[in-house]
């Protein structure tokens, strides 16, 4: 009896393992995707430098969906990506390359090739450019031509490019112009030794400018060879949005022969990618949104920030005057001054500039963030250059709790100070009075 009982149990186990109690184990019929995507179209080159080429194209279509694109350089596979743009980097200068691509879907079906583009990288021949004339007119033309509030012309610099940029600024400040020339050519920039023949005596300036075939739009940085005011740095990060602040900055720089002037290379809203740094603005949208990466006053990953850091550390007594503009409400003053904090520094340049401006125009009214402590509008506490100069623990995300006094954020109403050279002279004279 035990044997039969054992066999019965085994038999039941075997039967149970072969049945699922009446469910249907058969798999549904599978439909195989054999339709390839359409070939990508309109492959174009959007920018060129000595070492890289930016490509974009029109997306392929597929009955299920496109998974990725394979890019070919000179008929060899270069990269596989899911977006419709790519930067081919690590290229040789002055060299012609051929690019094409094809699409692939999730089933592995491949499209035919796109159109082919043949493109030559920029020549990296490093030479010192020499020009002459009126630097105000020269830089004014550059300011007029910078891209507006759309287009993604502004490119986020890579870490390696920021390192190269830092070396360029080191070389300029150390008067090693030959080294600056060589380094600048690696990132599509050049050194222009500009002699201003409108000044008496003539003055020489070193302009760190992007080559004519622009690809980065990081801005233009100018240094006096023999500055009259060795510690004065003038900055204009919003030259397209804050009307005339770029030309005003150049006017003040030239007429004071200051140490340097930094000018942004695109509208603050030009690139659609958001900055990770704290603060919001309604400038680029109808409602408050994070700052954009192209907003150089609110982004630490920029050559504007890198140049500020370098000069701040290298020139021990340097003072950074940052010019802005705003639309005046009825309750606003004409000028809002801030050192980036509520603290009063040992040398109070903001108050000195206020007093000097009143000499130029006694109808001006003011708010100073460290004196009018209840005032909160447009005081620049999220400005990343100000945070850096005021020793913030993290210029991207932390406001400074103390001040060096070496950063002055100036918001200006248009008609009194920004309209034309007739008004710019007020700021220029005030800076001369304070720093000369």
Q: Residue 268 in contact with residue 260, Cβ under 8 Å?
A: no
| The pLDDT of residue 8 is above 80 | no
As beta bridge partners, residue 378 has none
What is the edge-to-edge ordering of all strands in the sheet holding 229-236?
129-133, 189-196, 203-210, 220-224, 258-263, 229-236, 319-325, 407-412, 335-338, 366-368
Report pLDDT for 335.
98
Report the b/e string of 195-221 with b at 16+ CB within 10 A.
Answer: ebeeeeeebebbbbbbbeebbbbbbbb
Confidence (pLDDT) at 28: 53
At residue 265, the pLDDT reads 98
- Whole-Å CA distances, 32 to 16, 28, 107, 213, 332: 34, 13, 8, 49, 68
Structural domains present in the chain: 41-120 (2.60.40.10), 129-435 (3.40.630)
Q: Which residues pair with 101 in a beta bridge?
A: 71
Q: What is the mean pLDDT of residues 341-360?
A: 98
Q: pLDDT by residue (tens digit) across 41-58?
A: 999 999 888 789 999 999
Give the DSSP letter string of 121-132.
PPP-----EEEE
C-alpha dihedral sign at 299, 301, 302, 306: positive
- Residue 374 and residue 88: Cα distance in Å, rounded? 52
On the question of pLDDT at 20 being above 70, the answer is: no
Confirm if 246 and 263 have CB atoms less than 8 A apart: yes
User: Three-class SS string for 71-115?
Assistant: EEECCEEEEEECCCEEEECCCCCCCEEEEEEEEEECCCCECCCCC
Rounded average pLDDT over 50-75: 94
Give the mean pLDDT of 210-216.
Answer: 92
DSSP 209-256: EE-SS-S----EEEEESS-SEEEEEEEES-TTTSTTHHHHHHHHHHHH
DSSP code of residue 415: I
Rounded Cα distance, 225 and 211, in Å = 21
227 CB-contact burial (10 Å; exposed 0-12 / middle 13-18 / buried 19+): middle
- Helix 421-435 vs helix 349-360: crossing angle, to nearest 10: 130
pLDDT tens digits, residue range 324-343? 999 999 999 999 999 999 99
What pairs with residue 210 in β-bridges? 189
With CA atoms as reference, report the closest residue to 389 among 231, 224, 240.
231
What pTM was computed for the model? 0.75
Residues 429, 434: Cα–Cα separation, whole Å: 9
Residue 153: which of 294, 307, 283, 298 has the closest Cα? 294
Q: Is 326 exposed, middle or buried (0-12, 13-18, 19+ CB in 10 A)?
A: middle
Q: Are 381 and 408 in contact (CB under 8 A)?
A: no
Q: What is the mean pLDDT of residues 226-255?
A: 98
Q: How much is the pLDDT for 30?
A: 60
- List pLDDT tens digits, range 362-403: 999 999 999 999 999 999 999 999 999 999 999 999 999 999
Query: Quick check: 127 pLDDT over 70?
Result: yes
């Amino acid at each position: 009896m035990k044997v039969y009982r054992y066999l019965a149990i085994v038999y039941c186990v075997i039967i149970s393992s072969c049945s699922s109690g009446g469910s249907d184990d058969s798999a549904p019929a599978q439909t195989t995707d054999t339709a390839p995507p359409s070939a990508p179209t309109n492959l174009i080159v959007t920018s060129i430098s000595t070492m890289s080429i930016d490509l974009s194209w029109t997306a392929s279509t597929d009955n299920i969906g496109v998974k990725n694109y394979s890019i070919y350089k000179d008929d060899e596979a270069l990269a596989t990506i899911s977006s419709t743009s790519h930067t081919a980097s690590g290229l040789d200068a002055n060299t012609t390359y051929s690019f094409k691509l094809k699409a692939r879907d999730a089933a592995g079906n491949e499209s035919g090739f796109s159109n082919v583009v043949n493109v030559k990288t920029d020549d990296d021949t490093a030479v010192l450019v020499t020009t002459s004339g009126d630097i105000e007119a020269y830089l004014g033309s550059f300011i007029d031509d910078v891209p507006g509030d759309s287009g993604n012309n502004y490119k986020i610099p890579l870490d390696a490019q920021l390192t190269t940029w830092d070396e360029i600024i080191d070389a300029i400040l150390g008067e090693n112009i030959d080294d600056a020339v060589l380094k600048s050519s690696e990132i599509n920039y050049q050194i222009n030794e500009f002699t201003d023949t409108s000044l008496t005596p003539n003055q020489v300036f070193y302009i760190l400018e992007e080559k004519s075939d622009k690809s980065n739009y990081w801005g233009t940085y100018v240094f006096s060879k023999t500055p009259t005011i060795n510690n004065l740095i003038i900055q204009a990060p919003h030259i397209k949005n804050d009307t005339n602040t770029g030309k005003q900055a150049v006017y003040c720089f030239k007429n004071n022969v200051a140490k340097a002037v930094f000018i942004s290379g695109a509208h603050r809203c030009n690139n659609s990618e958001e900055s990770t740094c704290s603060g919001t603005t309604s400038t680029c949208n109808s409602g408050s949104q994070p700052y954009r990466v192209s907003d150089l006053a609110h982004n630490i990953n920029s050559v504007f920030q890198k140049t500020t850091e370098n000069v701040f550390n290298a020139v021990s007594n340097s003072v950074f005057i940052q010019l802005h503009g705003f639309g005046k409400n009825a309750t606003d003053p004409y000028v809002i001054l801030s050192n980036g904090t509520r603290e009063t520094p040992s040398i109070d340049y903001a108050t000195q500039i206020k007093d000097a401006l009143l000499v130029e125009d006694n109808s001006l009214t003011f708010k100073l963030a460290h004196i009018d402590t209840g005032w909160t509008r447009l005081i620049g506490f999220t400005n990343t250059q100000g945070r850096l100069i005021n020793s913030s623990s993290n210029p991207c995300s932390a406001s400074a709790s103390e001040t060096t006094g070496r950063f002055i954020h100036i918001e200006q109403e248009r008609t009194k100070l920004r309209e034309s050279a007739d008004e710019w002279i007020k700021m220029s004279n005030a800076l001369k009075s304070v720093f000369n």
